Structure 1
Amino acid sequence: MSVELNHTIVPARDRDATADFLVDVLGLEPAPVYGPFRVVTLANGVSLDVVQAGDDVPGQHYAFLVSEEEFDRIRGRIEERGLTYWADPYHQEPGRINTNDGGRGLYWSDPDGHNLEIITVPYGGG
């Protein structure tokens, strides 16, 4: 049996606002409630299970592999919402994208300070 990531928990100060933000910016289906979670499901079946965590939310990093077309749509939604994005994970190059590994990538933050990333080519090349 191969090992695959099935889900991960995303802590949030406001579970619903964070789940809605992810669904909106990434262009995903609405996130249903399952127990204490709002379940944001990605195309490969992995889910981000957003849970209410109170005020002290440690920042995490979540990277999403997307097609070239999805990259353009997501970047457009980021820009339409007036969100700042960066070419690098340390947020030193605002308003730029990177071309690492022959693809395109960018980083932005969610309402809880999680460092989100979209890339069109996996690290190490396609």
Structure 2
Amino acid sequence: MLTACNSNEANPDNDTGSNEQSAPTETVQKDNEPAEESPNRGEWSSLPEYDMIVRTINPKEYTFRTVSDNENERILLLANQYGKEKYKTIFIKNTSRLKIIDVDGAGQLFNEVLENS
């Protein structure tokens, strides 16, 4: 019975079990598709929260990606050159409140209402 559960029998040519490792790699690649990201800073610089984001972190080291943008809030993720998410920003539109969160464990870096420009 234990032999039937062995992954090597499902694929006798694969004696390393790497077929189990290939699925997570594909998932990571799909989650970090460049189509969702934009290296064009001009697109992001028009956002009211952009100036405070660049004052809080160095945006040149990160790629912006919009998670959601609706009438109430905009959520952005900033990932490093390897696609690892480092910061999350939440902009509440009706109050102009911006939250910047370090997702690596440092927690909330900024939580204030932005001045109207």
Instruction: Give the TM-score taking structure 2 as reference length.
Output: 0.25
Name the larger-Rg structure. Answer: 2
Give the structure with the larger helix fraction: 2
Structure having greater relative contact order (Cα 8 Å, sep ≥ 6): 1
TM-score in terms of structure 1 length:
0.24
